[in-house]
Amino acid sequence: MNISRRRLIASASTALPAASLLSGLGLHNSCLGGVETTEGNKKDFIETTKASEKAVEKATAFIKRTQNRDGSCGVDINQQSDIGCTSMCGLALLSQGNTPIEGRQSKELKKMRDFILQQTKSMPSDDITSATGTQLQRKIGRHAHSFFAALFLSQIVGEAPNPEATNNGLRKVVDAIVKAQTSNGDWGTTSWAPTLGTVTGWVSLRACDFVGMRVGGAPEKTTQHLLKTMASSANQSRGWMHDLYKNAAGIRVLYAMKKENEVAAKTTFEKVLRLVTTDNTPFTQAGGEEFLAFHLITETMLQKGGKDWEKWYPVVRDKLIDVQNRDGSWTGHHCITSRTFCTAAAILVLTSPNRFLPISQA
């Protein structure tokens, strides 16, 4: 069987459980007959199912239909280039073990990478694009496209021809993101979901730092900003949207900064777990913000492992599959309505057990 370098690295990691090793080889962890506890009892929890694999396959086919001749992806099929959507689609293909030089979607991935790098050649000093008012910018923040571009390029470092070009392009985007961070540690408060924007900005810099790039910035200030924001609303609810993407995504930062035992972090996770377990509304009425929040929280629980991962993942995985469209896409029902963005984010959730992205360990 042919195994890409990304798959080989993932499946060879001694830090991964046996179920993940099988996943890295393209097999189901059900081949083990379940995951055994130390007492020898078997659990029912299986990360990757036939249904989730089928959903990813259909979603990937949809993603490919959104790609334009120049390698970019639009917010939907036959739409003009969108940097953020292109970057998210690139991440979705990487998460399946593809690289720009090998894998079933290597050609599409290489074109996405080349498109993003082309944008960095003429970018302003403060952002990857001079455009304003896009869906992602209105809802996540002015620098949303820079965040997603940096995240994508950081995950592709060393996985493509001419790595110097990738590093140079990424350097320019990182410098713009660092420059845009405020003294409070955030990236502005004028968007619809500024907390989600701040988390995404932090994650993009974290990803770059994890792959060896010196980024600067002020991660501690971001942590304190999020703790303050989340603590102020931990004991109140302003609706399921606020609880999910305006607040819960912050646990992605808090966990990575070893603040998961803070009261705000624990309370927030318990609230969002209860929300997704007892209510289908966050899925049937999800916008792109929720899909992104699902991805961010899933990455957190993946790293944390244990009971929190086992409680979170099957619920989110199966409820996402239930609302997938027949053509393989997911629809944003408010705010970020882009089917491309929502579909790419859903793929990242469903492929998270692969553990192929470096950010899954960052």
- The mean predicted confidence, pLDDT, of the chain is 85
Buried b or exposed e, range 163-178, using 16+ CB within 10 angstroms? eeebeebbbbbbebbe
> What is residue 159's predicted lDDT score, i.e. its pLDDT?
86
If DSSP codes are grouped into helix, strand and coil, which group holds residue 218? Answer: coil
Query: What residue type is 109 in one-letter code?
Result: L
Q: What is the mean pLDDT of residues 65-92?
A: 98
Whether 37 shows a pLDDT value over 60: the answer reads no
What pLDDT, on the 0 to 100 scale, is given for residue 38? 39
Helix, strand or coil, per DSSP, at residue 256: helix
pLDDT greater than 80 at residue 352: yes
For residue 255, the SS3 value is helix
User: In 256-276, which positions are buried (b, 16+ CB within 10 angstroms) versus exposed (e)?
Assistant: bbebbebebbebbbebbbebb
Residue 125 reports pLDDT greater than 80:
yes
The band of 127, judged by pLDDT with boundaries at 50, 70 and 90, is: very high
Report the topology of domain 49-349: Glycosyltransferase (1.50.10)
Q: Encoding tokens for residue 132?
A: 């304003």
Q: Where are the domains of the chain?
A: 1-48, 49-349
Contacts with 273 (C-beta within 8 Å, 6 or more apart), sequence order: 311, 312, 315
pLDDT at 30: 36
Averaged pLDDT, 92-98: 97
How long is the chain? 362
Give the pLDDT mean for 261-267.
84
